[in-house]
């Protein structure tokens, strides 16, 4: 997902995962994932910096402020085509110096780094369908891994493929086989760095729980979470016309669902009324709240326990423009809290774009401004941040 390629937000609705069980069971769990090193616990995505839309670089001062606020890592979405790769040109990224500079700047600011290869939808479809692209992508990763071989193994992590699609009957088998090839190629060059892998269906929770874990103890399993879209993506222009949700046509949707009942949202009237009201009714009937999210996550919690793997919520967030701030930060706070209760790290989407938490967040190049205090409170960082500044 990202401002550089808004169509990434389009993914199948996956709110039918599993049967809902007693929510209270989740809160008492102590998962095996907490035995891992406590890195990559509190992160933020720095979108557009290394993507096709090419926003202004994040400055050294901004990176230091993110660390002072309490973040321990950043996730760098990297569009390989925007940085000069194609299978026709060969495996090197011509824009590698930009990526190196971003990684070095984050490390200098005492932030660990997830290098997230973030192809746009067109590139992902080509990789899935055309051997020249799928083989070329693996060759590119092998070369890229060699360029970062000397980076600190405990501070730089590599995410191999953001939000793979691979829908359809054979998609699970095809993605599993391809991801194994990717891991194998990178492991030949980087035997000690942690790698981030994910499930298909847009990197969703649903795609992850159907994945058989790979035979590699130094993997982190990522999922992205944005449900319900009618709230998190309300008014998003790129969601209008989406076949899976009417979210782009709604305004003023509040969270939790009880708050939306007290002050009803409105539709822009540009989508079939029956379809829009059906989705709103689902939002109400589902009783979307922290408890609903917790119940939906139980299959993933059970999967992680069963396999003894480390899980990371690599993206979650709520669009900013026109959304009730209290509702926005309530949802962010609920998702963050649940991730931490499961012993999972997280990376918020995003710093200062259309889902941003800075006062000047936008996609039009204005100054990003300061991190907002309500955002830091929702992320549990206000005390951490003040403590760091006091030292």
Q: Is residue 350 included in any domain, yes or no?
A: yes
Instruction: Using the structure block, give the residue that is written with the tokens 């919690």.
Output: 301
pLDDT of residue 333: 98
Q: Is residue 378 included in any domain, yes or no?
A: yes
Higher per-residue confidence, 261 vs 308:
308
Q: How confident is the model at residue 1 (pLDDT cuts 50, 70, 90)?
A: low
Mean pLDDT of the region 170-198: 97
Q: Helix 290-307 crosses helix 325-341 at what angle (to 10 degrees)?
A: 30
Reading the block at residue 294, the tokens are 């917790």
Supply the DSSP string of 187-225, one letter for each residue: HTT-SSS-EEEE-HHHH-HHHHHTSPPPS-TTEEEEEEE
228 within 8 A of 288, measured Cβ to Cβ = yes
Q: Is residue 19 included in any domain, yes or no?
A: yes
Reading the block at residue 98, the tokens are 């930009």
What is the rounded distance in angstroms from the CA atom of residue 178 to the CA atom of residue 160? 11
Q: Is residue 191 included in any domain, yes or no?
A: yes
Return all residues near 61 (Cβ < 8 A) that are at least 6 apart.
Answer: none
pLDDT of residue 13: 39
Query: How does 207-237 read in b/e, with b if 16+ C-beta sit within 10 Å?
Result: bbbbbebbeeeebbbbbbbbbbbbbbbbbbe
Q: How confident is the model at residue 4 (pLDDT cuts 50, 70, 90)?
A: very low
pLDDT of residue 29: 33
316 within 8 A of 227, measured Cβ to Cβ = no
What is the rounded distance in angstroms from the CA atom of residue 239 to the CA atom of residue 247? 7
For residue 149, the domain's CATH number is 3.20.20.80
Instruction: Using the structure block, give the residue that is written with the tokens 């971003």.
Output: 102
Count of other CB atoms within 10 angstroms of residue 24: 9
Taking CA atoms, 336 is separated from 221, 387, 388, in Å, by 17, 20, 21
Q: How confident is the model at residue 24 (pLDDT cuts 50, 70, 90)?
A: very low
What is the rounded distance in angstroms from the CA atom of residue 273 to the CA atom of residue 267? 9
Q: Is residue 337 included in any domain, yes or no?
A: yes
299 within 8 A of 226, measured Cβ to Cβ = no
Higher per-residue confidence, 181 vs 243:
181
157 within 8 A of 115, measured Cβ to Cβ = yes
Tell me the pLDDT tens digit for each residue of 374-386.
999 999 997 665 5
- Give the whole-number percent of the chain exceeding pLDDT 70: 88
- Based on the number of CB atoms within 10 Å of its own CB, is 169 exposed (0-12), middle (13-18) or buried (19 or more)? exposed
| Residue 86: domain span | 6-228+292-382
Q: Is 80 exceeded by the pLDDT of residue 9?
A: no
314 within 8 A of 159, measured Cβ to Cβ = yes
Which residues on neighbouring strands pair with residue 222, listed in sequence order?
Answer: 198, 312
Count of other CB atoms within 10 angstroms of residue 203: 26
Q: Is 70 exceeded by the pLDDT of residue 10?
A: no
Q: Is residue 362 included in any domain, yes or no?
A: yes
The number of domains in the chain is 1
What's the CA angle centered on 216, arms 83 and 173, to 5 degrees? 75
Mean pLDDT of the region 321-342: 97
Q: How confident is the model at residue 365 (pLDDT cuts 50, 70, 90)?
A: confident
Reading the block at residue 364, the tokens are 């039009």
Q: Is residue 262 included in any domain, yes or no?
A: no
Q: Mean pLDDT of all residues in the chain? A: 88
- 196, 194, 197: which is closest to 218 by C-alpha? 194
DSSP strand E in 99-249: where?
112-117, 156-159, 195-198, 219-225
Mean pLDDT of the region 312-341: 97
Q: Is residue 281 included in any domain, yes or no?
A: no
Instruction: Using the structure block, give the residue that is written with the tokens 């996730």.
Output: 75
């Amino acid at each position: 997902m990202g401002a550089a390629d808004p169509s990434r937000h389009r993914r199948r609705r996956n709110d039918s995962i599993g049967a809902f069980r007693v929510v209270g069971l989740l809160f008492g769990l102590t998962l095996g994932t907490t035995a891992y090193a406590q890195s990559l616990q509190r992160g933020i995505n720095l979108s557009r910096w290394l993507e096709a839309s090419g926003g202004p670089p994040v400055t050294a001062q901004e990176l230091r402020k993110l660390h002072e606020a309490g973040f321990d890592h950043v996730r760098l979405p990297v569009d390989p085509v925007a940085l000069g790769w194609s299978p026709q040109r060969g495996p090197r990224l011509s824009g590698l110096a930009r990526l190196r500079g971003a990684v070095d700047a984050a490390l200098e600011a005492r932030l660990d780094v997830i290098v997230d290869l973030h192809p746009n939808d067109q590139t992902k479809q080509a990789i899935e369908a055309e051997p020249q692209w799928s083989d070329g992508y693996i060759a590119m990763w092998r070369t890229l891994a060699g360029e970062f071989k000397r980076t600190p193994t405990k501070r730089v992590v590599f995410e191999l493929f953001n939000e793979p699609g691979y829908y359809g009957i054979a998609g699970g088998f095809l993605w599993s086989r391809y991801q194994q090839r990717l891991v194998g190629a990178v492991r030949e060059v980087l035997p000690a760095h942690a790698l981030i892998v994910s499930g298909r269906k847009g990197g969703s929770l649903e795609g992850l729980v159907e994945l058989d874990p790979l035979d590699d103890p130094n993997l982190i399993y990522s999922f992205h979470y944005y449900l319900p879209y009618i709230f998190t993506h309300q008014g998003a222009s790129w969601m209008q016309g989406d076949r899976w949700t009417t979210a782009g046509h709604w305004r003023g949707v509040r969270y939790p669902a009880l708050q939306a009942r007290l002050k009803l949202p409105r539709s822009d009237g540009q989508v079939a009324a029956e379809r829009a009201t059906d989705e709103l009714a689902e939002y109400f009937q589902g009783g979307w709240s922290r408890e609903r999210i917790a119940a939906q996550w139980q299959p993933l919690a059970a999967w992680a326990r069963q396999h003894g793997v480390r899980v990371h919520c690599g993206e979650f967030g709520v669009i900013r423009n026109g959304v009730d701030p209290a509702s926005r930060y309530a949802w962010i706070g609920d998702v963050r809290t649940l991730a931490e209760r499961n012993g999972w790290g997280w990376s918020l989407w995003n710093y200062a774009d259309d889902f941003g938490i800075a006062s000047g967040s936008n996609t039009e190049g204005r100054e990003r401004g300061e991190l907002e205090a309500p955002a830091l409170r929702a992320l549990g960082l206000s005390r951490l941040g003040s403590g760091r500044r006091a030292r």
